[in-house]
C-alpha cells in the first residue's frame, strides 16, 4: 500500500495529472489531485465496467465526452489499477489539465516505471534485512570459531563488497567491529571464572592470540582483560 501512495505522489508531483488507484474488487485505494469537480465527472461506471470486462490486465484510454480522457492500466505486482486523468486534449476554461494523447501514453509508462522501482526497493530491503539477520545469527552461533568476511559471504551467497556496504549501512559498524565487540562482551562473563587463563578466555571467544585479544579488549572497554577481571571480582 505504501509503495502505491509513494508512486502516485511522485507521479503527480512530476506530471500534475490526477490519478486514482483502484483494487481488483473495484474499491478506491487512494487518489491524488482530485477535487469535488473531478470527482463529479469521474466516469465510475464506465471505468468499472471496463475493468470488469478485462479483469486483471488492462492498458486502455477511455474517452468519455468533450475530449476528456482517462488512462487505465494495471499495477504490476499489485492487485489493482491506476486511473490517470481526467485530462483534456482541448484547452478549456475548466480545471482539467490540458495534455495531448501522446503525453498520456508517455505518462502511463512513467507511472509504471516509478511503481516498478518502488516495488523493487521493497524487495531489495527485504533481502537486505534478511542478509543482516542471517549474518548476525551466524556470529551468535560461530563467534568462537575463526570467522572471516569471506566465510560470511559464502554462507549468505552474496558479493563481499555488497555485504560490507549493507552491513555498515544497517548497523553503523563494519562487520569486523561488530564481531570483535560481540566477542569481547561474551568474554566478560568468562573472565569471572578464575579457572580460566586469559589465553583460555581469548580462545573460547574466537581469538587465537592473547595479545591481540587484550588489545581489542582495551579498545572497547578502556582496560585490559586482567584489570577487568580483578575489578569485577572485587565488586561486592
Q: What percent of the chain has pLDDT over 70?
A: 92
* pLDDT tier, 202 (very low <50, low <70, confident <90, very high otherwise): very high
Q: Where in the chain is the domain with CATH 1.10.10.60?
A: 143-236
Report the pLDDT value the prediction gives residue 91, as an integer from 0 to 100: 84
What fold, for 2-122? Beta-Lactamase (3.30.450)
Residue 6 has pLDDT above 90, yes or no: no
Cis peptide before 86 (omega within 30 of 0): yes
Cβ–Cβ under 8 Å, residues 77 and 119: yes
* pLDDT tier, 122 (very low <50, low <70, confident <90, very high otherwise): low
Residue 205 has pLDDT above 80, yes or no: yes
Report the pLDDT value the prediction gives residue 214, as an integer from 0 to 100: 95
Q: Where in the chain is the domain with CATH 3.30.450.30?
A: 2-122
Q: For residue 18, what is the DSSP state? A: -
Cβ–Cβ under 8 Å, residues 112 and 73: yes
Residue 216 has pLDDT above 60, yes or no: yes
Report the pLDDT value the prediction gives residue 56, as an integer from 0 to 100: 58
Q: What percent of the chain has pLDDT over 90?
A: 31
Report the pLDDT value the prediction gives residue 86, as an integer from 0 to 100: 92
Residue 26 has pLDDT above 80, yes or no: no
Each residue's pLDDT tens digit, 49-59: 887 766 656 77
Report the pLDDT value the prediction gives residue 219, as an integer from 0 to 100: 92
Class of domain 143-236: mainly alpha
Instruction: Tell me what the pLDDT averaged over the chain comes to.
Output: 85
Report the pLDDT value the prediction gives residue 77, as an integer from 0 to 100: 61
Residue 168 has pLDDT above 90, yes or no: no
Each residue's pLDDT tens digit, 52-111: 766 656 777 888 777 888 888 887 666 788 999 899 988 878 889 998 888 888 888 888
Q: What is the CA radius of gyration of the chain?
A: 30
Report the pLDDT value the prediction gives residue 46, as an integer from 0 to 100: 84
Task: Label residues 125-144 b or e (16+ Cβ within 10 Å = b).
Answer: eeebeebbeebbebbeeebe
Residue 127 has pLDDT above 70, yes or no: no
Amino acid at each position: 500500500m505504501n509503495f502505491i501512495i509513494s508512486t502516485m505522489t511522485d507521479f503527480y508531483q512530476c506530471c500534475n495529472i490526477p490519478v486514482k488507484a483502484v483494487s481488483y474488487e473495484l474499491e478506491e485505494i487512494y487518489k491524488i489531485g482530485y477535487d469535488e469537480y473531478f470527482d463529479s465527472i469521474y466516469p465510475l461506471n464506465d471505468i468499472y465496467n471496463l475493468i470488469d470486462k478485462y479483469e486483471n490486465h488492462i492498458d486502455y484510454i477511455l474517452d468519455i465526452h468533450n475530449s476528456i480522457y482517462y488512462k487505465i492500466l494495471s499495477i504490476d505486482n499489485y492487485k489493482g489499477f491506476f486511473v490517470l486523468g481526467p485530462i483534456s486534449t482541448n484547452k478549456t476554461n475548466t480545471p482539467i489539465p490540458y495534455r495531448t494523447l501522446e503525453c498520456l501514453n508517455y505518462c502511463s509508462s512513467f507511472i509504471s516505471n516509478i511503481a516498478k522501482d518502488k516495488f523493487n526497493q521493497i524487495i531489495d530491503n527485504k533481502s537486505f534485512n534478511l542478509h543482516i539477520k542471517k549474518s548476525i545469527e551466524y556470529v551468535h552461533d560461530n563467534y568462537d570459531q575463526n570467522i572471516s568476511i569471506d566465510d560470511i559471504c559464502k554462507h549468505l551467497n552474496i558479493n563481499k563488497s555488497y555485504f560490507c556496504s549493507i552491513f555498515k549501512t544497517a548497523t553503523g559498524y563494519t562487520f569486523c567491529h561488530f564481531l570483535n565487540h560481540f566477542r569481547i562482551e561474551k568474554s566478560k562473563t568468562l573472565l569471572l571464572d578464575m579457572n580460566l587463563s586469559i589465553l583460555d578466555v581469548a580462545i573460547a571467544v574466537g581469538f587465537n592470540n592473547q595479545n591481540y585479544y587484550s588489545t581489542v579488549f582495551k579498545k572497547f572497554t578502556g582496560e585490559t582483560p586482567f584489570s577487568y577481571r580483578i575489578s569485577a571480582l572485587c565488586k561486592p
